[in-house]
């Protein structure tokens, strides 16, 4: 297994209890876009708080992450909450997302520029992407953080330029250390 995925695996293994986090505020703020019909996918889901939230809202919810430990935890939390989820352990550098498969996709705090067009293609026409991750302002909080994992101003919009932008915080003057984009795949 690759070193970065091993590091995540170790981090999740160190959690002493199952972690049942609140869903991301971006999803809560835009819950009017969630009609609960169809399939949702939480990409690089970690312990799966957003995928679980989407399952709770009626979606067939798929959770993908490279960490077996995190997904095992998400499975236990789902069972405890009476939710059904579908879990996939995969390295997203190699995994091929299915095309036109999801009504909602969530990507939170995970930046993999090489799969941004595959993420757009994995949405069904009319499907909505919620994308949020750290931008270069984060360097003032954590100066040593690798720049490659941080968005430049305007980058979220350019990575997902084929989507209709419904909402964004993406520069040119960045507001805080998280950039986001909510976008809809065109067509019906």
Ligand X SMILES: C[S@@+](CC[C@H](N)C(=O)[O-])C[C@H]1O[C@@H](n2cnc3c(N)ncnc32)[C@H](O)[C@@H]1O
Please, are residues 87 and 75 in contact by the beta-carbon 8 Å criterion?
Answer: yes
Instruction: Kindly tell me which residue out of 53, 59, 62, 110 binds ligand X, with binding defined by CB under 6 A.
Output: 110
**184 contacts: CB under 8 Å, gap ≥ 6:** 126, 127, 128, 129, 163, 164, 166
Instruction: Kindly tell me which residue out of 6, 18, 22, 93 binds ligand X, with binding defined by CB under 6 A.
Output: 93
- Contact characters 53-92, ligand X, x per CB under 6 A: ------------xxx--x--------------------xx
Place of tokens 């997902």: 160
51 sits near ligand X (criterion: CB under 6 A) = no
With contacts defined by CB under 6 A, how many residues of the chain interact with ligand X? 16
Integer CA distances (angstroms), 32 to 29, 35, 53, 72, 176, in order = 8, 7, 14, 30, 24
3-state secondary structure of 77: helix
42: its two tokens: 């939480």
Instruction: Kindly tell me which residue out of 26, 40, 104, 108 binds ligand X, with binding defined by CB under 6 A.
Output: 108
151 sits near ligand X (criterion: CB under 6 A) = no
User: Least Å distance between CB 125 and ligand X?
Assistant: 25
8 sits near ligand X (criterion: CB under 6 A) = yes
Q: Which residues contact ligand X by CB under 6 A?
A: 4-5, 8, 44-46, 65-67, 70, 91-93, 108-110
């Amino acid at each position: 297994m690759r070193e970065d995925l091993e590091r995540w695996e170790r981090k999740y293994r160190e959690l002493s209890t199952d972690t049942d986090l609140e869903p991301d505020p971006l999803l809560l703020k835009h819950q009017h876009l969630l009609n609960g019909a169809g399939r949702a996918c939480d990409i690089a889901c970690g312990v799966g708080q957003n995928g679980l939230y989407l399952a709770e809202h009626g979606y067939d919810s798929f959770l993908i992450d490279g960490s077996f430990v995190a997904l095992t935890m998400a499975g236990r939390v789902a069972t405890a909450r009476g939710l059904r989820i579908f879990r996939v352990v995969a390295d997203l550098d190699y995994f091929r997302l299915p095309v036109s498969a999801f009504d909602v996709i969530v990507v939170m705090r995970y930046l993999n520029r090489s799969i941004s067009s595959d993420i757009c293609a994995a949405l069904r026409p009319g499907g909505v992407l919620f994308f949020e991750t750290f931008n270069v302002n984060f360097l003032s909080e954590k100066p040593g953080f690798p720049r490659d994992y941080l968005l430049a101003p305007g980058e979220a919009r350019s990575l997902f330029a084929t989507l209709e932008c419904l909402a964004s915080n993406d520069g040119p003057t960045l507001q805080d250390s998280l950039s986001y984009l909510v976008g809809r795949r065109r067509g019906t």
